[in-house]
A = this chain, B = another copy of it.
Amino acid sequence: MAERIAFFGELLLRLTTPGHELLLQSPSLSVHVGGAEANVAVGLASLGHDTRMISRVADNPLGRAAIGEIRRHGVDCATISTSDGRMGLYFLTVGAGWRASEVVYDRAGSAFAAADPASWDWDSLLKGCTRLHLSGITPALGHDPAAAAIAAAEAAQAKGLTVSFDGNYRARLWEAWDSKPREILTKLVSLTDILFGNHRDISLLLDEPFSGDGPARRREAAEAAFGAFPRLRYIASTARQADGADSNRIAARIDTPDTFEQTDEIEISSIVDRIGAGDAFAAGVLHGLLDGLSLEQTVQAGLALTALKHSLPGDASLFTRADLAAFEAGGRDVRR
């Protein structure tokens, strides 16, 4: 049966300063549509996979435009509803060299975050899907989104869908309300088949330190996670070294209960847009799994898509299979 992947999460508008300026240094902003889960959906749709976004946006021109942007890239948006409320925003100041990029969030009170958990009809929303992808952003937004995410994962499990979950731990979001992140995340990971997260995420889940950065320590953390969460089949992660705002090094890794694959570290200089690079990695790995690639090919696909994403403005990977093939083939001179 052909796979169809559902994504549940918030659509956000990103407002970015031009030319490495500070906010309002000059009076214009560019706008992109993003969201951790939508970015993965767009990344997979661009590779030709059948994707569906489940979300809620403000019933205003901004919300409708956000849907249009996701749909443009081929994601099925019929399962995005609208309601009163506002769109979540974030403002991005793009750094350079010794100055890090900075995000100012303005997402409180969004139509998505305020949605009643009972308003999501999972049976209908997941109909025809074989997979569900979630991230740790949604449960971090408050009681209702957390309840919705858990309900989604439970419904998916009940219907036999494969669940993937990207930790995306954001302390600032969890700390903004009376949250119990370990409890909620443990619940979600227990429903997860494919986890995107590193040893720090696993530390948080298991309340156990895995502070070393070496491959052995990472394997140790992965094995602990596989032990604690028997449903887990894959743990995928990247290790990023940010030498400067526009020059990073990155390596990728996938662990299974039995083995792991780790890529060499590659250098990513002249970064155009680092936002969404983690989501592109998730899309690349899911692409490998959907296509039945080997573990090594799968982690390479993840690395390739995250490397390519750094070269592209916007939140999501828009690369095609031809782009992946060109990356693998090598050759960075003009193609003509």
Contacts and interface: CB of A to CB of B under 8 A. Distances in A.
Interface stretch (A104-112, A158-166, A191-199, A211-219): A104-112
B333 A240 contact: yes
A274 B22 contact: no
Q: Which residue, A33, A91, A102, A310, has most C-beta atoms of chain B within 10 A? A: A102
B313 A62 contact: no
Interface in A302-317: 304, 307-308, 310-314
Nearest to A70: B72
Nearest to A335: B102
Interface stretch (A1-9, A93-101, A179-187, A252-260): A93-101
Contacts of A69: 24, 72
B275 A246 contact: no
Contact of A335 (B62, B72, B100): B100
Contact of A103 (B304, B331, B335): B335
Interface in A32-47: 32-33
B96 A272 contact: yes
Report the interface size class on chain A.
Answer: 35 or more
Given A74-B71, A170-B336, A268-B97, A25 B318 contact: yes
Given A68-B72, A71-B71, A275-B334, A97 B24 contact: no
Interface in A201-248: 240, 242-248
Contacts of A125: none
Q: Which residue, A22, A65, A275, A331, has most C-beta atoms of chain B within 10 A? A: A22
A276 to B, nearest CB: 10
A20 interface: yes
Given A29-B31, A244-B269, A102 B334 contact: yes
B29 A26 contact: no
Interface of A: 13, 15, 19-33, 60-62, 65-66, 68-69, 71-74, 86-87, 89-91, 93, 95-106, 108-109, 170, 172, 240, 242-248, 266, 268-272, 274-275, 304, 307-308, 310-314, 318, 323, 326-327, 331-336
